[in-house]
Structure 1
Amino acid sequence: MPSSTEMFDIFCKIVINTVVITDSCLSRTGIGVYLGLSALDHSCKPDAFIIFNGTKAILRSLSKNITEYNNNLRIPYCDLLELTSTRCKYMQLQHNFICNCEICQNVELDRQKCSLRCTKCTDGFCPYSPEDEQAETRCKVCGEISLFNFDHLQKLYQQLTTDDSTEKNLNELIDLYCESEEVFSPYNVPLCKFAEKIMISAMKHHKYDEAAKTFYPKGLPPLPTRMLEYAKLLMLQHDEASFPILREALKMIRESYGSESNFALTTARLLDDLRKNLSVASL
């Protein structure tokens, strides 16, 4: 029988190499150990990713130039939308290492993920960090300096990042989102994450998805699943805007999961049904 030291070593290897099994919408359904996939290292700028068909793991490429498996492929171990500090904390706890890639060393990228809305132009954003000691920052688009109320800024940021949404009713969450949207830019990840808690309200503003579109590599599954969720919520409201969003979601799902995947075929049927329903409603 192995010694306690050997047993602990085996346990640690299993925990570190465990892969979270998800369904088509990326909801967690279990965990497993896949030897071939465990050999692949993490990167915050991956060239492949894993999806599942039941418990069967499927490795898909983010580049058309990659056509076969090799040990040099890099996959994401965590949600790439998260700030560097959150990603590093997860890596340390779950995989016992700290990523030091070019993305993690890019301080300006994190400042964009926490950026403020420019007060001088329409589409600008002002890089910001919660550690900043002043609320004066220059817009990356127009180059003008915007001034913010420092105390109000810190209070809003804390409210966005504190997980106490269960203590607030929907109207309070919507009010906080609307107030925060006037201060934080569309690229602000905490604002994007907060919007997911009140997705119906976020859809009305059409600003919630800029951060996800910017920081998720094209082809990675989280963005198409988000688009599908948005489309379904609009469908529940009988909103005609659901059709173009669902159509875009199907295009992205085909790219991420494959045109012949069950997920893509199911979504295609949903789009066809929606098209027929909208045609009948317009008569």
Structure 2
Amino acid sequence: MKSARKGELIFEERPFTHVLDHSQQGQRCHSCLERSEHLKKCTACGLLRYCSLACQRCDWPIHRRECPCLKQVAPNVPLDSVRLMLRILIKTQLLEKEDQSTTETVWRRTFHDLMSHIEEIQVDPSRSQQFAQIVYTLRELCQGQLDLPPVTQLMEVFGKVTINSFTICDGDLQAVGVGLYLGASYLDHSCQPNAVVSFQGQKLMVRALRDIPEVKPSNIFISYTDQLAITEDRQRQLKEQYYFSCQCCRCQDISLDRLLKSFVCPVPTCTGAVCRIQVGELLPCGSCGMNSYEESYRRKVEDTFHHLIQDLQQIEQAKKAKDLDKVLSLCQKCLNPDTVMVLHSNNLLHIQALDRGLDVAIDLGLWEQALKYGLQLIPLYIKVYPSGSPQVGLLLLKVGKLELYLQRLECALQHLQQGESIIRVTHGRFHELYCQLSELIDQCTDELRVHMEHS
């Protein structure tokens, strides 16, 4: 089979079926998932909205069966997971005697081919409860409209959807929907992937992060988890969500976890760091080798750790409540001088506080504050994310946009060009995110030239 060069599109695929995230209602089309200011409601259910007649017609084969179900429970809106299950059931019934393979991928695959992990789900209390709630809601939805298959078959479908669905993201990696992609579900996970998934509307694209000598499913790895998390958290997420453990090189590298768990060495003359591996236990400093710490320092580390955990939890709660001022206040608390004196800049909690602070400062229009956080994050992201991660490219883009707005043109151009070298690989030259980035580089170049001509 053919090879794939770094940045090359390996394949693209449209979903077997998908649903728009409820938070995006009224902002995006339910069919193509593109943002639009001119959405028209389905006149029957009043829930789904489309940007064009073409999108409505494209969605109609499924929606005409889904529509009466949604209408009879209105104004209540089923959870996204329930709607995805309903759409899967409708589509599999429609295609019961037809070929269900994808047409845009290099591998033929049917819904029947997907793994369900029923045995694991049956002994998983959380998943079993979730399944029971979905079945209860489906029965309310479908009563008098659609015949549901037996519970055993429903669990099979639930398992396949749960294990194989993808969160559909926009260019900023924000969730806009969830979908089932038969071809992409072939691909295995690695915390150090050689390929990356991006989306253009509902269309999924897989690109090579580095050269792949032979393009076949067993040679292509994408990441299922948050790559910024420490190994034990990634492993827990993989076990809980997908029922397997990862043995990749990143999971075997303990130096990264020590970096993400690091605190400032208490020796005044040392610039190194100690690692908190568990409550009350600190590894020797990586620079001076000091491993005999006073009890007061151990308590300070524990207090700092627990206070930060609580503050970050409150930040997430304030974000959900859309209380941006409180989010910013909590971020500033996490980054106060007393905390920074104990918490090493490489510590994951410090990175998370900076990350939340950057986003909320942008939302509040505090450009200088946002830039301050962004500039601190760049070397940390580069250090802890795998090479070529889109998260690094997006951060460089954010920082470059801030610097361009604040007329720090030389720095802006440098960061935008660094971001371009990553986004070109992860998203491709025709993705709208890359096009926006290219326009910013052109704008910055023009402004810098004018500035130099007048100086």
TM > 0.5: yes
- Once the two structures are superposed, what CA deviation does each residue of 1:36-82 show, in whole Å capped at 9, x if it has no partner? 11011111122212111221111111222446343332210011111
Gaps of 5+ in 2: 1-147, 362-368
Please show how residues 41-56 of structure 1 align to structure 2 within 5 Å.
41-56=188-203
Please show how residues 25-44 of structure 1 align to structure 2 within 5 Å.
25-44=172-191
Is residue 234 of structure 1 aligned with residue 392 of structure 2? no
Provide the rounded CA distance (Å) in 2 between the counterparts of 1:69 and 1:245: 35
**239 and 74 in structure 1: CA distance in 2 versus 1, 3 angstrom threshold:** same
* CA RMSD, 1 decimal: 2.7
Provide the rounded CA distance (Å) in 2 between the counterparts of 1:177 and 1:202: 13
Q: CA deviation at 1:100?
A: 4.3
Please show how residues 98-137 of structure 1 align to structure 2 within 5 Å.
98-118=245-265, 119-122=268-271, 124-129=272-277, 131-135=278-282, 137=284
Is residue 80 of structure 1 aligned with residue 227 of structure 2? yes
Q: Which of structures 1 and 2 has the larger relative contact order (alpha carbons within 8 angstroms, sep 6+)?
A: 2
In structure 2, what residue type is equivalent to 1:61?
Answer: A
Contact 2:209 2:388 survives alignment (8 Å):
yes
Q: CA deviation at 1:132?
A: 4.2
- Once the two structures are superposed, what CA deviation does each residue of 1:162-195 show, in whole Å capped at 9, x if it has no partner? 3112384635532431433332333222211110
SS of the counterpart of 1:164? helix
Q: 1:96 aligns with which of 239, 243, 246?
A: 243
SS of the counterpart of 2:438? helix
Provide the rounded CA distance (Å) in 2 between the counterparts of 1:60 and 1:95: 23
SS of the counterpart of 1:258? coil
1:143 maps to what in 2?
288
Which is worse superposed, 67-76 or 17-26?
67-76
Provide the rounded CA distance (Å) in 1 between the counterparts of 2:349 and 2:188: 27
Is residue 193 of structure 1 aligned with residue 365 of structure 2? no
2:425 maps to what in 1?
255
Q: 1:215 aligns with which of 384, 389, 392?
A: 384
2:438 maps to what in 1?
268
Q: CA deviation at 1:127?
A: 2.9
More helix by share: 2
Contact 1:202 1:208 survives alignment (8 Å):
no
Contact 1:21 1:31 survives alignment (8 Å):
yes
Q: 1:182 aligns with which of 317, 324, 341?
A: 341
TM-score of the pair, normalised by structure 1: 0.85
Q: How many residues align?
A: 279
Which of the pair has more CA radius of gyration? 2
In structure 2, what residue type is equivalent to 1:154?
Answer: E
Percentage of matched positions with identical amino acids: 25
**36 and 71 in structure 1: CA distance in 2 versus 1, 3 angstrom threshold:** farther
Q: 1:170 aligns with which of 306, 328, 337?
A: 328
SS of the counterpart of 2:218? coil
Gaps of 5+ in 1: none
In structure 1, what residue type is equivalent to 2:381?
Answer: A
SS of the counterpart of 1:183? coil
Which is worse superposed, 6-15 or 82-91?
82-91
In structure 1, what residue type is equivalent to 2:438?
Answer: A
Provide the rounded CA distance (Å) in 2 between the counterparts of 1:260 and 1:275: 21
SS of the counterpart of 1:143? coil
**227 and 195 in structure 1: CA distance in 2 versus 1, 3 angstrom threshold:** same
SS of the counterpart of 2:423? helix
TM-score of the pair, normalised by structure 2: 0.55
1:245 maps to what in 2?
415
Contact 1:188 1:211 survives alignment (8 Å):
no
Q: CA deviation at 1:198?
A: 1.1
Q: 2:304 aligns with which of 156, 163, 170?
A: 156
Contact 1:219 1:252 survives alignment (8 Å):
yes
SS of the counterpart of 1:228? helix
In structure 1, what residue type is equivalent to 2:444?
Answer: L
2:114 maps to what in 1?
none
1:204 maps to what in 2?
372
Contact 2:263 2:342 survives alignment (8 Å):
yes
